[in-house]
Amino acid sequence: WNKRIRNYTAKFLINLSNTNLCIHPAKGHQTKNSKLVLRSCIRNKEQIWYETDKEELVLSKLLCLDSASGNPIIGKCSETGSSQRWKHTDDKGTAFYNLAAGTCLRV
Nearest to 54 by CA among 22, 26, 19, 87: 87
Euclidean distance between CA atoms 32 and 19, whole angstroms: 27
Euclidean distance between CA atoms 57 and 8, whole angstroms: 9
Nearest to 105 by CA among 59, 75, 70: 70
1 has a pLDDT exceeding 80: no
Euclidean distance between CA atoms 13 and 3, whole angstroms: 23
* Domains of the chain with bracketed CATH: 8-104 (2.80.10.50)
pLDDT reported for residue 27: 95
Provide the H-helix boundaries in the chain: none
Euclidean distance between CA atoms 105 and 107, whole angstroms: 7
Residue 44's pLDDT band (cuts 50, 70, 90): very high
pLDDT tens profile 63-88? 999 998 788 999 999 877 789 999 98
